[in-house]
Amino acid sequence: MTYLNELMSSRELLANLTAREVKGKYRRTVFGQLWSLINPLATMLIYTIVYSFIFRARLEVGDPSRLNIYPLWLMCGLLPWIFARNVINSGMTSIVANGSLIKKVYFPRMALPIAAVGSFGFTWLVEMGVLLIALAIAGSNFWIYLPVIVGTMLLLAMFSCGVGLVLAIVNVHFRDMQHLVGIALQMWMYLSPIIYPISLVEDAANKAGHPWILTLYRLNPIERFSTVFRNLMYDNRLPEWGDLLACLVWACASLAIGYGVFSRNEKKLAELL
């Protein structure tokens, strides 16, 4: 509890680090913070053209919302994934990138990867706000479940932070890790139902005569999070309790493991950098 108390007493430092990340992300750019909207919109446009118009991907109609708009369906899963990916990447490189600062002065090193959560969390709030406005215009009644949406966002932040904390320590020892993680994250995205519905995986597993593939597929935590977000925002219904429980377990387990690994190795970081 000593390290946790020390981290909690560094709230001002954490706020300053988060503000530094937010301000420095698009410094000296013409569009500034608008890039946080332009990037996911460009990605949405590409996937919409490829999967909706070229490959004619079958999209399930929102139940009970009756929405049938692929770009909105896509963004309900894509924005949470982009947030998780950015937090994991930034958290992983946060220690190495701030090596000179770590060598000069002591402060709870965990504040660096946590600042990544705050920085990308700010961007994510803006993006989600725009998405919710678009969903409202399309006729979605997501506002009924807004507290659950916010709660799920916090769970995803906890999960991503935990993964970032573990990788931050590993990356100090093995600098190749950031390149391997980049490849792994790209594979992780395509192995998750972000740009295609999970019904395609279910149909393929049944046709192959191996229904256990779907069970294995659903062990992916991102699958659970994307399902919950789409149930709440696109379908306008409460997710299954099993999905919510899975998100809670993944979030708590990831953060606990990340905290444990990082706090045990925190004192060695200055020597290893």
| Tens of pLDDT, residues 69-82 | 888 999 999 999 99
- Residue 183, judged by CB atoms within 10 A of its CB (0-12, 13-18, 19+), counts as exposed
Total tally of structural domains belonging to the chain: 1
Tell me the pLDDT band of 90, cut-offs 50, 70 and 90: very high
Smallest Cα–Cα separation from 151: which of 239, 248, 250? 248
The pLDDT of residue 227:
96
Tell me the pLDDT band of 185, cut-offs 50, 70 and 90: very high
| pLDDT tens digits, one per residue of 30-65 | 556 666 677 777 877 887 787 767 666 667 788 888
Mean pLDDT of the chain: 87
**Domain enclosing residue 196, as ranges:** 2-272
Over 70: is that where the pLDDT of 273 sits?
A: no
> Left if phi > 0, otherwise alpha if psi is -120 to 50, otherwise beta: which for 66?
left
Smallest Cα–Cα separation from 98: which of 84, 83, 82, 109? 109
CA 88 to chain centre: 8
| pLDDT tens digits, one per residue of 98-141 | 888 888 888 888 988 999 898 899 889 888 988 999 999 999 99
| pLDDT tens digits, one per residue of 206-249 | 998 888 999 999 999 999 999 999 999 999 999 999 999 999 99
Q: Are 163 and 254 in contact (CB under 8 A)?
A: yes
Rounded Cα distance, 261 and 273, in Å: 17
Record the tokens describing residue 9, joined without a space.
């007493």
Q: Are 94 and 166 in contact (CB under 8 A)?
A: no
| pLDDT tens digits, one per residue of 91-100 | 999 998 888 8
The pLDDT of residue 27:
66
